[in-house]
Amino acid sequence: MKTQSLETTNLSSKNKSSNFILYAILLPFLIFLGLLSMNAIALSRPLLITIGIAGIVVISILALTDLHKLLLIFVLYLPFSKIIPGDFGTGTWAFNLTNVFLLLILLSLGIEKLKSGLNFIPKSSITIPVIIFCFFGTISFIKGGFYFGYAYMGHFIGPLKEWLTPIFLFFIFLIAVRDKHQIKQIITLIILITICISALTVFEYLGVKGAEDFEKTRVGTIFEQPNRAGAFFVYYSFLLVGVFLVNIRSVKYWPLIFPILISARALMYTYSRGAIVAFAAAGIFIASIKSKWLFILVCLFAMLALINPNVLPSSLRDRFASTITKQEPIYQQSLEDRLEPSAKTRIIIWKGALKMIGDRPFLGVGYGVFPYMINFYAPVGKRDPHNAYILIAAELGLIALGVFLWIIALIYKNTLFLYKKSKDKFIKSFALGFLAGIVGLLVCNIFGSRMDSQILMGFFWILTALVFKSKELLKKGQLN
């Protein structure tokens, strides 16, 4: 027993040492990407190309030697992949750094298959539903091609790939990740990236603070759109909250309050009403899971904020107060007439979308077609539905929507299982935080379509893969 304990201690010390070296290498690269994405540093085009070529050489070497480190660098790059596409000025969707990464990862997986017999057929309860959902998306795209011709397919093949890539990442990480140590490294890296993006958002806000046009004060940071930025913080900020709550009795974890507050402040600077509501819902949920007393405390604060909004920051109060422009009694006018133009238009779009779904309930109108069809059902022009569930039902059909909700239910169920059964505090905190992120995603997408972007959803599907891999290791007794 003493020998086994000593071996475990030595392994833990070795892992901590390797983690320190790894993050010492990755963090400067993360800071460099952040500053580059914000134009805080200016590099000449020849220098950028040189850095890009050197980067491809490095990841090519890793593809031949170390799959896990290749995955870590890819995770680091993923949220910056839109603002720093790495296309060497070609402007094409086919040739970019993301595709280079994916090809090299597939090559590395093939090498691992030859060396160690890596299993390419992942077993999980979610595999078949995910394949079915992707099938509906592909059929919807082909159907759109039949209706609108080759021009349609050429236009939407890029968005379709961006929608499917995060799901593809689920299978890659489910196959490639081997052990608890690798799982913890990836989760830690995602947490660090979230903190970095939060800091970048606050930094960007300081540059636009006080602008006369309200829309210019809304920060989109690397996502280039405030609502998407808000959704990102809803999905992933709670990973750090989970770590804090699971270890709240240990004083050394209390400094985590500061990056958590930075993430919350970054969310506020997006002024995304849907994201703020979703963040609040996720906060109430995580409190209910962790402690009944914490849940009661959070609910009391929420009730106080509803009764007396003055307890909230003035910018937050003003943002929500602007939603309703007329204060006459509800029975004197319709809901649309009481709302500001943006919210009013959403109600009109949703009513038209329900008519569209009624016309083609099973297979939908076709992938990406909604904005072009909605004007036939509601006088709003070319508009997004601002609701992911309506968008899936309208474009892919009600069956596809049912499959998607089935997938989310399975992710939630397995994450909850992991939270309840795992004795490893880090894995437990990851599961707790991801549970809140799932709830946040469900609420956030009532008010917008925030699931069609690889920079936004890439982490979600990677974390989903880590949930199912963790469950697999837990059942084998390799997690504790």
What are 195-231's pLDDT values in tens digits?
999 999 999 888 888 777 777 888 888 998 899 999 9
pLDDT tops 60 at residue 3: no
pLDDT tops 50 at residue 1: no
- As a whole number of angstroms, the longest Cα–Cα distance in the chain is 79
Burial of 329 (0-12, 13-18, 19+ CB in 10 A): exposed
Region 45-50: what's the mean pLDDT?
A: 81
Instruction: Report the alpha-carbon distance of residue 135 to residue 367 in Å, rounded.
Output: 12
Region 327-350: what's the mean pLDDT?
A: 65
pLDDT of residue 262: 94
pLDDT of residue 7: 46
* 182 vs 9, higher pLDDT: 182
75 residue type, one letter: V
Instruction: Report the alpha-carbon distance of residue 396 to residue 17 in Å, rounded.
Output: 49
- C-beta contacts of 123-128 below 8 A and 24+ residues apart: 123/472, 124/174, 124/468, 124/472, 125/410, 125/414, 126/407, 126/410, 126/411, 126/414, 126/464, 126/468, 127/171
- Candidates 32, 169, 28, 186; CA nearest to 99 is 169
Do residues 396 and 367 lie in contact, with contact meaning Cβ atoms separated by under 8 Å?
A: yes
Rounded to 10°, the helix 388-395/398-421 angle is 140
Q: What are 299-326's pLDDT values in tens digits?
A: 888 888 778 777 777 767 666 766 655 5
Q: Write the DSSP string, 96-137.
A: SHHHHHHHHHHHHHHHHHHHH----S---TTHHHHHHHHHHH
User: Could you tell me the pLDDT band of residue 459, with boundaries at 50, 70 and 90?
Assistant: very high
User: Could you tell me the pLDDT band of residue 27, with boundaries at 50, 70 and 90?
Assistant: confident
pLDDT tops 70 at residue 339: no
Instruction: Report the alpha-carbon distance of residue 7 to residue 310 in Å, rounded.
Output: 57
pLDDT tops 90 at residue 95: no
pLDDT tops 70 at residue 188: yes
Q: What are 6-23's pLDDT values in tens digits?
A: 444 555 555 666 677 777
User: Could you tell me the pLDDT band of residue 86, with boundaries at 50, 70 and 90?
Assistant: confident
Q: What are 99-157's pLDDT values in tens digits?
A: 999 999 999 999 988 888 777 777 788 999 999 999 999 999 988 888 777 888 888 88
Region 395-404: what's the mean pLDDT?
A: 95
User: Could you tell me the pLDDT band of residue 421, with boundaries at 50, 70 and 90?
Assistant: very high
Region 353-374: what's the mean pLDDT?
A: 90
Quick one: tokens of 121? Answer: 């057929």
Instruction: Report the alpha-carbon distance of residue 471 to residue 429 in Å, rounded.
Output: 14
pLDDT of residue 109: 93
pLDDT of residue 198: 94
User: Could you tell me the pLDDT band of residue 327, with boundaries at 50, 70 and 90?
Assistant: low
pLDDT of residue 407: 97
- Candidates 198, 265, 205, 267; CA nearest to 230 is 267
3 residue type, one letter: T
Q: In this prediction, what percent of the chain has a pLDDT beyond 70? A: 89
User: Could you tell me the pLDDT band of residue 441, with boundaries at 50, 70 and 90?
Assistant: very high
- The average confidence (pLDDT) of the chain is 86
pLDDT tops 70 at residue 433: yes
User: Could you tell me the pLDDT band of residue 462, with boundaries at 50, 70 and 90?
Assistant: very high
pLDDT of residue 331: 47
Task: Kindly report which listed range (40-44, 90-94, 270-274) carries the lowest average pLDDT score.
Answer: 90-94
User: Could you tell me the pLDDT band of residue 61, with boundaries at 50, 70 and 90?
Assistant: very high
Q: In this prediction, what percent of the chain has a pLDDT beyond 90? A: 50
